[in-house]
Amino acid sequence: MSPAASPIRRALTGRIVTMATEGDVIKSGTIFIEDNRIAAIVPKGQPAPAGFEAVDPVATGGTIYPGLIELHNHLSYNILPLWRVPQLFGNRDQWQNAKSYKTSVTGPMSAIALADDGSLLPALVRYVEAKCLVAGTTTSQGITLSNWSGTIHKYYKGALRAAEIGSPPDLPRAHSKIPDIDAEDWLKFDNELKSSACFLLHLSEGIDAKAHNHFLALRNAAGDWAIEPSLAGIHCTALDATDFGTMAENHAKVVWSPLSNLLLYGKTTDVAAARAAGLTIALGSDWSPSGSKNLLGELKAAKVVSAHFGLGFSDYDIVSMATRNPATILKWDAKLGTIATGKFADLLVVKGVTGDPYDHLIKSREQDIVVVTIGGRPRFGTKKAMQLAGGSGEALKIGSSARLIDFTSPDQDPGIERVTLAEATSRLRAALGGLGTLQPRSVAMAAAIADGRVSRAGWRLALDEQFGNNVQLRPRLAYNGIRTGPDLHAVAAAAEPLHPIKLDGLTVSGDAVFLDTLRSEPNLPQGIAEAIAAFY
């Protein structure tokens, strides 16, 4: 029998914000990590725990938080830049049919998905994973790949944790898609919710009666609600205090995306009423076409929106929405979401140790991140911090700072592993710059698939609600005899000719147009865009 491998031990020093309770902060201390878990948390001046006597802690010079957990994203779309929303909308049905949406979002993504020769999917996965990591996100949600042969897990089972994959039994997998037939049958839908630990579903997107009916349809003729403790309603923008009371009675949760709400509808979810009802609230950036670039940016949007509308959320409340609250919603809170001995060492270190610790994180930018660890392994950070922590990876720059990012994973498809971030960036820039060439190829492929002239062999990007994937992101129950939810149709390509667009920048600091586009958005209440831009 071969001897057991020696444990890998690391240690990070800094100000430690546990997020266990408000004010639970160690002004100066060390987190000791053994393999993938936190072995001990020791205030400055106290001895290292047994086994760590020879470990030289990395002096981060920063504040250490739990890694950020995001519960609303559409990851594959995050190669696209912010869409300038042309008008105010009342519900999801309306903007999906806008001409500029088709040429800016569905058309380009359809062209990339259907004209892919095998080089774009690995590049896309690499790039959108990097966008999360460089902003301190250690878990995200929103896998949109279709498995036409094989298993979905091999593509998104990389450095970043995926909520839909989890790591059973410690981290049960969440569900974010529901079979078509179950989405339309009240009893089957309710049974799906009952059988799941966590179900992340879009609910009542919009602000008009049609969006509100989507929630009312959850009640059957007998007066029972298809709302279970597993349900985490994404958006819930059309709901009022009574509706949130109903959700609370049934122990459901809410995922808030304030910037996306305002960009599309000029109004956001009544999260103050949701909190008053006792609901747990998490935060999500939605996607880059109509949301923040990353979850770190959405923290800023939440702070600005709370102040603008007088919602009353403290900085601790907002940081909780990206750490402890989503861990609770996923039922991962025994393992993640706060910093505690025995938990997985998913950590985010931001430079600086002064000021209010919660405000400190909200104000931080991508260039302020010192190091990000997932399961104790350094995945991204400054070159110095990564090397001192025993990490390695591909070199890149954030602002003027040299960084390393490590994507390696024994469980990920080797075709993804071989693609560097630099190569992924090059491929995607070329594809988005050549949409006019890709478009006819994608139209031909769509026709060939529809006619049965080509098989669905291999991997393809199956975009949310654009192709017939036999799954839904939301319930489709009937209210007053009319099926609710957006009236979505399969979209192969935009009717209008596509023109080149630019790959969305990896960070706000590296994106010359993001803030300018944000300032030009017509539906944002006055002052919101400038207040967000002030953080950068």
Instruction: Give the per-residue pLDDT at 157.
Output: 66
Instruction: Give the per-residue pLDDT at 493.
Output: 45
Residue range 335-366, pLDDT digits in tens: 999 999 999 999 999 999 999 999 999 999 99
Residue range 19-41, pLDDT digits in tens: 999 999 999 999 999 999 999 99
Encode 230-263: b = buried (16+ Cβ within 10 Å), e = exposed.
bbbbbbbbbbeeebbbbbbebebbbbbbbbbbbb
Q: Are 117 and 434 in contact (CB under 8 A)?
A: no
Query: CA-CA distances (angstroms) from residue 493 to 388, 435, 466, 490, 498?
Result: 48, 11, 9, 9, 9
pLDDT in tens, the chain (536 residues): 445 678 999 999 999 999 999 999 999 999 999 999 999 999 999 999 999 999 999 999 999 999 999 999 999 899 999 999 999 999 988 888 888 998 999 899 989 988 888 889 889 989 999 999 999 999 999 875 444 334 445 566 678 999 988 888 899 999 998 888 889 999 999 999 999 999 999 999 999 999 999 999 999 999 999 999 999 999 999 999 999 999 999 999 999 999 999 999 999 999 999 999 999 999 999 999 999 999 999 999 999 999 999 999 999 999 999 999 999 999 999 999 999 999 999 999 999 999 999 999 999 999 999 999 999 999 999 999 999 999 999 999 998 999 999 998 866 666 666 889 999 999 999 999 999 999 998 888 877 777 777 665 555 566 766 655 667 888 999 999 998 987 765 444 456 899 999 999 999 989 989 999 999 999 999 999 999 999 99
Containing 404, the helix (H) or strand (E) segment is: strand 401-405
Instruction: Give the per-residue pLDDT at 411.
Output: 65
Q: Are 32 and 39 in contact (CB under 8 A)?
A: yes
- At which residue do the structure tokens 């944790």 appear? 161
Instruction: Give the per-residue pLDDT at 122.
Output: 86
Please give the structure tokens belonging to residue 71.
């519960």
Please give, one letter per residue, the 3-state secondary structure of 466-518: CCCCCEECCCCCEECCEECCCCCCCCCCCCCCCCCCCCCCCCCCCCCCHHHHH
Query: CA-CA distances (angstroms) from residue 123 to 116, 435, 467, 491?
Result: 11, 16, 21, 23
Q: How many CA atoms lie within 13 A of 505 on its CB side?
A: 17
Provide the 10 A C-beta neighbour count for residue 94. Answer: 18
C-alpha to C-alpha distance for 481 and 235, rounded to whole angstroms? 24
Please give the structure tokens belonging to residue 283.
């935060």
Q: What is the pTM for the complete model shown?
A: 0.95
Q: Are 200 and 163 in contact (CB under 8 A)?
A: yes
Q: What is the DSSP letter of 75?
A: G
Instruction: Give the per-residue pLDDT at 490.
Output: 47
Instruction: Give the per-residue pLDDT at 146.
Output: 46
Instruction: Give the per-residue pLDDT at 155.
Output: 61
Q: Are 330 and 69 in contact (CB under 8 A)?
A: yes
